[in-house]
Amino acid sequence: MAGKGTSLCGTNTGKILLLAKTTPWRWVRKALLQLYTTSGEQPNGFFLIPTPCLVPHFDDFTWHTLAQALVLLLAAAALIATLLPLMRQTIWWIRVFDFPRLQIVGVLLLVLVAGVLLGWHQPAADTYWMPALLASVALATGYQAFRILPYTPLAGKHVGDSTRTDGEGHLSLVMMNVLQYNKQSDKALKVLQEADADVIMAVETDEWWHQQLKPMEKTHPYTCHEPLDNTYGLLFFSRLPLDGCEIKYLIDDDVPSVHTKVQLPDGRTWVRVYGLHPKPPAPAESETSTRRDAELLLVGRELEERDEPTIVFGDMNDVAWSHTSELFRRISGLLDPRVGRGLMPTFHAEYQLLRWPLDHVFVSPHFKVDEMERLPYVGSDHFPIYIKLSFEPQDKAEQEKNLEEADAADKQEAVEKIQEGKQEEREEEAQEAGVRA
């Protein structure tokens, strides 16, 4: 017997299920009912809709309602993505929303414009809640913009522009995550040679990468390498003399870091340099951000008691505006040269709309900036980053005004995070030992 679906569409194939009974919103229920084209209601409020019927009947469908549903979904997703990072939980699926603040701002702005065009600010009797939703979206947009504003040229620079003209007090660095499985070493080598930085750190480097980048040792004879095949190996090259270079495993027993001093070209000044690459909060790496945070804060606490020229750089697997990065700056007394200069996102190199800054340089107030830029693509998922610094201690007091001072609560939080990171590592080691046994 020919049903309504047969007479209108000529086929009953490709049927899909739509739930229309339990939706709490009348306008959504109405939209689903408008799609109803068969002659019988199924149990539990399900309707069978022949797929070929959908396109022919779009003329009858309320496009306004479809747009409402789509924008509502975007609004809900963006608001959730804004609220989740406010939680101090370290689980990866919460901390990951620290990263895409710029992208979330884009979605929120789209929702704001669409909401106004759809009349959310002029509610009907059954959509009285829409102005409140629109106001929430506006507040979330303002909050997200506020968090990233310091990392735009609209903000004042925390690290000033260099005024030094001689060449003796300058130090340039390159941070490059090569992506261990990337085999385009010729690109990486070319970028490094053209950048001609005094100090280079390449991470995710195994022994193959060590051999590919070995030509750098001709111009950068001072080295401190720890190639590993676990994506956490590192190579450290310097044109300038090093003093006491050590490879340390601060938290994870398979994640090295560089600790050294670099002599400036003046032959008198030594700069303390740390090179870091902690694990990211991700299912395949670490279920939480606990150990990443602990490694960064462990270095921060070490610097808390020092007053000497210092640089901390690396792939931190965190963004500058995260709570942990801000806590690190307060504890360490370091400044972020990105502030007032721009985001310079370094990850993901292959997806232009999904990028955020994961590779960082933090400096003590002794330094000013000559140049800072993102370097060309080298086949990795990260862009390298280059910075040329100028040692200008006479302006240290002036730049210290830009420091964010740690209070007692910050210091206590740092201690607790470090303890939690060490405890998590001990638990993982015990678990691995149990598996081996």
pLDDT tens for 189-245 read 999 999 999 999 999 999 999 999 999 999 999 999 999 999 999 999 999 999 999
- pLDDT, position 231: 98
Q: State the Cα–Cα distance between residues 183 and 208, nearest whole angstrom.
A: 9
- pLDDT, position 60: 41
Q: State the Cα–Cα distance between residues 9 and 420, nearest whole angstrom.
A: 63
- pLDDT, position 5: 39
- pLDDT, position 121: 78
Checking if the pLDDT of 11 tops 90, the result is no
Residue count of the chain: 437
More confident call, 260 vs 12: 260
Q: Name the DSSP class of 415.
A: H
> Average pLDDT of 305-319?
96
Quote the Cα angle for 133-139-141, to 5°. 105
28-82 pLDDT per residue, tens:
455 445 544 433 444 344 344 444 444 444 444 477 778 889 999 999 999 999 9
More confident call, 56 vs 161: 161
Closest CA to 316 of 337, 343, 339, 347: 347
- pLDDT, position 437: 61
- Rounded (to 5) percent helix, strand, coil in the chain: 40, 20, 35
* Mean pLDDT, all residues of the chain: 88
- Residues 234, 203: contact at Cβ < 8 Å? yes
Q: State the Cα–Cα distance between residues 183 and 181, nearest whole angstrom.
A: 6
Checking if the pLDDT of 1 tops 60, the result is no
- pLDDT, position 431: 85
pLDDT class of 315 with cuts at 50, 70, 90: very high
Q: Which residues pair with 361 in a beta bridge?
A: 313
Which sign does the torsion angle of CA 196, 200, 206, 211 carry? Answer: positive
Checking if the pLDDT of 176 tops 70, the result is yes
Phi, psi for 361 (deg, rounded to 5)? -135, 125
Checking if the pLDDT of 382 tops 70, the result is yes
Non-local (6+) Cβ contacts of 210 within 8 A are 225, 227, 233, 235
More confident call, 172 vs 11: 172
Checking if the pLDDT of 17 tops 60, the result is no
- pLDDT, position 125: 56
- pLDDT, position 30: 53
Checking if the pLDDT of 93 tops 90, the result is yes
pLDDT class of 26 with cuts at 50, 70, 90: low
Q: State the Cα–Cα distance between residues 104 and 146, nearest whole angstrom.
A: 13
Phi, psi for 195 (deg, rounded to 5)? -70, -35
Checking if the pLDDT of 18 tops 60, the result is no
pTM of the model: 0.84
Non-local (6+) Cβ contacts of 72 within 8 A are 133
- pLDDT, position 254: 96
What percent of the chain has pLDDT above 70? 84
> Average pLDDT of 381-393?
98
pLDDT class of 136 with cuts at 50, 70, 90: very high
Q: State the Cα–Cα distance between residues 62 and 68, nearest whole angstrom.
A: 10
Checking if the pLDDT of 12 tops 70, the result is no
Phi, psi for 215 (deg, rounded to 5)? -55, -25
Q: State the Cα–Cα distance between residues 109 and 426, nearest whole angstrom.
A: 45
> Average pLDDT of 257-279?
98
- The fold of the 170-425 domain, in CATH, is Deoxyribonuclease I; Chain A (3.60.10)
Q: Is the link from the previous residue into 64 a cis peptide, with omega within 30 of 0? A: no
Q: State the Cα–Cα distance between residues 283 and 400, nearest whole angstrom.
A: 39
Non-local (6+) Cβ contacts of 1 within 8 A are none
Specify the amino acid at residue 272. Answer: R
> Average pLDDT of 124-128?
64
317-346 pLDDT per residue, tens:
999 999 999 999 999 999 999 999 999 999
- pLDDT, position 436: 66
